[in-house]
Chain A
Amino acid sequence: MENKSTEAVFDSLVLELRRGTIILSVLSQLKEQQYGYSLIVLLQEKGIEIDAGTLYPLLRRLEKQELLESSWDVESAKPRKYYKLSAYGSAIYEKLCRHWTEMVETMDRLINEKDVN
């Protein structure tokens, strides 16, 4: 019983950690245009699991914030909505990456503090 609840707490903490990285993961893969499902597959190959129910609404939100541009491809058999970084989105992405690197360094320092002592 005890073990099970610790595990649940741990899982929810991991989920929370991961939530902060999702946007950066998505933006990083959209220099080339992708549709939702191809993006899921692409991220999966690179070791990031994200479910469609999270990704699809997120793509829409990022589009609304003008970080992404979209276009419908209706030529092929299945109509697909493609998303791609906008110029504004690219600029923001670069900035976010710098921020991320700084954050990782700071965090590394924090969690490795014990070893130094």
Chain B
Amino acid sequence: MKLIDRYVYAVTRYLPEKQKADIERELRTLIDDMLEENQENISYEKKVEKVLLELGDPTLLADSYRGTKRYLIGPQNFDNYIFILRIVLGAVFLGITVATVVGAFADSSKGIIGFVANYFAVMISALLQAFAWVTAAFAIAEYNGVDLLDKKEEDWSIKDLPELPQKEAVIPRSESIVSIVFSTLFTSILLFAPQIFAAYINNGSGSFIMIPLFNIPVISQYKALLIVVFVLGIIKELLKLYYRRWTLKLSIPVALLSVALGIISVLIFTNPSIWNPNFAVIMTKYMEIDIAGVNLWSSLSTGLAAVIIIATLVEVATNVYKGFKYDK
């Protein structure tokens, strides 16, 4: 009977492989027994329908077989999820809006309609991506968090009560929010409107000439890596928002994330081909300075790498120091 097969399938399809066959066999016998029990004078099909209705929603039955509910984002993380989602979506909205408006001033060739259409297209795509990446980050945390909780079997004792944090150990929420807003702004502009990073030169007649800093086709090849940087950065801030005070347990993963972020950023920004190769030439043409002869990009890359490395080292050192100092 096809209906029974479909019901059994609906119950067992997401159950662990080990129990599947067993539960399926048991369920079929049960349905059979219930059918035999029914002595009403109705067709077999009607009887089957009655029995299946009595057994109820197959997903609920599967849930009770499984014993636990499964969440993409569980109730303990949901508030934080909404909180972060608001910040990130807000920042993306702001980023795209700023990018589009600046773009419109710089290049008025597309006309109003073109810009509005472009604005909505980019906005929708950016918001969807931001939503997807934040959700993915939380889903990963949820998946790992559940495992961690299962392993934690020690009894709670008075000693486990957290120390009241010293004032200096508290991580202000605003620090993480500012950091999330800026990295979202920066990433969304880099991903969707990299041409905005440019030199704007007044050509005398009231309009501006825009000389992009980046080599747009090359920078768009780095999209995946830029998203990785963004997600790692968000995870780092989430950890800080979650613990809210410096301890070793926090500062070590945060330091590792900072190092990873530093390495990837250096890899991206020291590749000379991401910069606009004609930048110096065009600049020289419009300005009265001659920088064409200077090997602009290679020295800029080195400088940038040095800045990123120093900033990362300083950050890691402060975090680890605070972790050690204020660890309870």
Q: Do A and B bind? A: yes
Closest to A74 in B: B25
A58 to B67, CA, bound (A): 9
As a 0/1 sequence over residues 49 to 74 of chain B, the CB contacts with chain A under 8 angstroms (1 = contact) are 00000111000110011010000000
A35 to B29, CA, bound (A): 10
Stretch from A5-13, A46-54, A88-96, A103-111 contacting the other chain: A46-54
Main secondary structure of the interface of A (DSSP, over half): helix
The yes or no answer to B32 lying at the interface (CB within 8 A) is: yes
A57 in contact with B61 (CB, 8 Å): yes
Q: Which of B25, B27, B54, B65 contacts A51 (CB 8 A)?
A: B54
Question: How many Å from the CB of A35 to the closest CB on chain B?
Answer: 8
As a 0/1 sequence over residues 194 to 229 of chain B, the CB contacts with chain A under 8 angstroms (1 = contact) are 000000000000000000000000000000000000
B64 in contact with A54 (CB, 8 Å): yes
* Residues in B115-148 with C-beta less than 8 Å from chain A: none
Q: Chain B contacts of A52 at CB under 8 A?
A: 30, 34, 54-55
A-B CB contacts (within 8 Å), total count? 45
Contact A36:B56 (CB < 8 A) given known A53-B64, A54-B64: no
A53 in contact with B29 (CB, 8 Å): no
Interface of B toward A, CB cutoff 8 Å: 19, 22-23, 25-27, 29-30, 32-34, 37, 54-56, 60-61, 64-65, 67
A sample of 29 cross-chain residue pairs with beta-carbon separation below 8 angstroms, ordered by A number, consists of A35-B29, A36-B30, A37-B30, A37-B33, A41-B37, A51-B54, A52-B34, A53-B55, A53-B56, A53-B64, A54-B64, A56-B26, A56-B30, A56-B65, A57-B61, A57-B64, A57-B65, A57-B67, A58-B64, A60-B19, A60-B23, A60-B65, A72-B25, A78-B32, A78-B33, A79-B29, A81-B25, A81-B26, A81-B29
Closest 5 CB pairs between A and B? A37-B33, A57-B64, A57-B65, A78-B29, A53-B61
